[in-house]
A and B are shown apart, each in its own frame.
Chain A
Amino acid sequence: MDFYFGLGQLIGVHTLLGLSAYIVLLTGQVSLAQAAFFAVGAYAAAMLTVLTGWHIVPALGVGSFLGAVTACAVGFPALRVKGLMLVIATLAFGEGVRLLFFNFDYQVAKGDLKVGPLGGEGFRQIRFFPEHGWTTGEVMLFIWVFVGGVMALLWWFDRSRYGAVLRAVGEDELAAQSVGLSLTAVKVSAMTVGGAIAGLGGGLYAHYTTHIEHASFNILMATFAIAYPIVGGLRNVFGTLAAVLFVQAFLVEGLRGLGDWRNLLFGALIVLSMNLRPHGLFGRRGA
């Protein structure tokens, strides 16, 4: 049973990762930086619970906030970079953040032990959940409360004017400007919300895996982030969720059949699904 709870945790956190890219993709920006915001949230939340003894909920709040701030800071220069260049720029930014964490040491003595992030070795002993007696099932539910909340929020956005505005900008920036929409406000706000979601996901990730390191927040993770909404389609948030389930189910099944080769599956799966359903699992809205 624990195995399935663990899988549930993974799916929940990956859904948050995917949703953080979803809202940014709506505005037409392909961001490979979501893993970087995820990392910021992970390290921040973990440092707060481990080094200063905070409770997880406010720690997650701070992680999410810092993810948002970082994303906002990225959002402004991102405006100057169009289309495919943005992909490259965010990719480089993500790698830059990863390298920063690779060089990041901040250890504090706790009793006999030293805890905290230690450069290449990463950040171990993020043990808030075990120390407070949470079961795997409880952690999974905790994660899914947040996933549910974020999905509800994005669903609400989609039905509101903000959601239509995001999609309008994503579809035709010139027309959007001409009807009075500020591209800066729309694109940066989407990036910021995405950063908040990623930061939240990162904080949860750090606590359920109990050990994070720079290598986890690599290009592969950045790819997962955009793969989910692209494979699932941008029609609504359920596309992203479906894609996470689809991909992870394949990878889990692949583990049984192909053992170590399952990572191969992810790449192959993406190539296949893009060939078979280029507009996503649920497709586009019309035409």
Chain B
Amino acid sequence: MLELRAVSRYFGGVRAVDGLDFTVNQGEIVGLIGPNGSGKSTIVNLVAGLFPLTQGEIRFNQQPLEDIPVHQRLQLGIARTFQNIRLFGQLSVWQNLWVAQNSPEDRSRRGFFSRWLGGQTQVREEIAQLLEFSALGHKQSELAANLSFGEQRRLELARALAARPKLLLLDEPAAGMNAEEIGQLRQRILDLRARGITIVLIEHVMELVMGVTDRIAVLNFGQKIAEGTPAQVQNDPAVKKAYLGGA
């Protein structure tokens, strides 16, 4: 589904991503781990279209993404969350989800006029589902800026889902969460896979990554140093040395 071929991204002298090959197949949950500065977030930003590639190619369902602007990549089915939460703080929870309904299905289902100028009634059910999924129903009128940290994280995820993605890039969704919240997140990720969404999970929280992914790629200094199942990666000596802690 997603293919990165010899992808490089340099920021001046810094090689954030260096000659990376990475593939994600449909229906997988793939983890991307590595020390800080290894290029994980840069990869998400490259796939999402925030920066151009210095070298290489990214393809989504065989289609090269190079000149496609950020907002159109969502039309193709790619959605992402942000490491530093970027919600629309001055909008309510409901509105945050509402403005994110930009997928091709939503566009074709309703006419232009009703989609932009119509009231809230038509989308009520769909947004209610999103709210239920992220347990935010009781806070739907609350301003996003007033939510607790955990609630904001859930809203970020729900907002990405509002776009009906086929591929979901999660950038450190568990950062700052306690054990209970991480357990709930794990369940939600599995639910999403059950709905047919392919997921790339960038994380530092090992219990989540090891517990929910089918496959993990390990990065260091912008390059892939290991790839395999969670068990394989955990025992790889190069990974241990770079990241997980030596013997």
Asked whether the complex places CB atoms of A and B closer than 8 A, the reply is: yes
Q: Which residues of A contact B (CB under 8 A)?
A: 156-157, 159-162, 164-165, 167-168, 171-172, 174-183, 284-287
A262 to B75, CA, bound (A): 55
Specify which chain A residues have a CB less than 8 angstroms from the CB of B100 in the assembled complex. 179-180
Given A164-B91, A287-B89, A287-B146, also A177-B118 (CB < 8 A): no
Q: Do A181 and B102 touch (CB < 8 A)?
A: yes
Given A156-B117, A164-B91, also A177-B146 (CB < 8 A): no
Q: Do B89 and A165 touch (CB < 8 A)?
A: no
A159 to B86, CA, bound (A): 23
Q: Do B91 and A177 touch (CB < 8 A)?
A: no
Q: Do A179 and B162 touch (CB < 8 A)?
A: yes
Specify which chain A residues have a CB less than 8 angstroms from the CB of B116 in the assembled complex. 160-162, 165
Neighbour of A171 across the interface among B88, B117, B163, CB < 8 A:
B88
Chain B, 130-176, CB within 8 A of any chain A CB: 143, 145-146, 159-160, 162-163
Given A167-B88, A175-B82, A287-B89, also A180-B102 (CB < 8 A): yes
**Least Cβ distance of A80 to chain B in Å?**
14
**Least Cβ distance of A141 to chain B in Å?**
28
Q: Do B86 and A161 touch (CB < 8 A)?
A: no
Q: Do B163 and A179 touch (CB < 8 A)?
A: yes
Interface of A, helix, strand, loop or mixed by DSSP: helix
A168 to B98, CA, bound (A): 11
A160 to B91, CA, bound (A): 13
Whether a CB of chain A sits under 8 angstroms from the CB of B29 is no
**Least Cβ distance of A115 to chain B in Å?**
41
Q: Do A171 and B91 touch (CB < 8 A)?
A: yes
- Which bracket fits the contact residues of B? 35 or more
13 contacts between A and B (CB under 8 A): A157-B117, A161-B98, A162-B117, A167-B88, A168-B88, A175-B87, A176-B88, A177-B69, A178-B79, A179-B100, A179-B159, A179-B163, A287-B143
Whether a CB of chain A sits under 8 angstroms from the CB of B26 is no
Q: Which residues of B contact A (CB under 8 A)?
A: 48, 50, 69-71, 74-75, 79-80, 82, 86-91, 95-96, 98-100, 102-103, 115-119, 143, 145-146, 159-160, 162-163
A161 to B160, CA, bound (A): 17
Specify which chain A residues have a CB less than 8 angstroms from the CB of B95 in the assembled complex. 164, 168
Specify which chain A residues have a CB less than 8 angstroms from the CB of B79 in the assembled complex. 178-179
**Least Cβ distance of A248 to chain B in Å?**
28
**Least Cβ distance of A278 to chain B in Å?**
15
A287 to B48, CA, bound (A): 30
A162 to B95, CA, bound (A): 11
Neighbour of A161 across the interface among B69, B80, B99, CB < 8 A:
B99
Specify which chain B residues have a CB less than 8 angstroms from the CB of A160 in the assembled complex. 116-119
A7 to B66, CA, bound (A): 58
A157 to B146, CA, bound (A): 24
A286 to B91, CA, bound (A): 9
A181 to B106, CA, bound (A): 13
**Least Cβ distance of B46 to chain A in Å?**
13
A179 to B70, CA, bound (A): 9
A171 to B117, CA, bound (A): 20
Q: Do A181 and B82 touch (CB < 8 A)?
A: no
Q: Do B90 and A167 touch (CB < 8 A)?
A: yes
A175 to B70, CA, bound (A): 10
Given A175-B88, A181-B99, also A159-B71 (CB < 8 A): no
Most buried by A among B74, B86, B88, B117: B88
Specify which chain B residues have a CB less than 8 angstroms from the CB of A156 in the assembled complex. 117
A183 to B75, CA, bound (A): 14
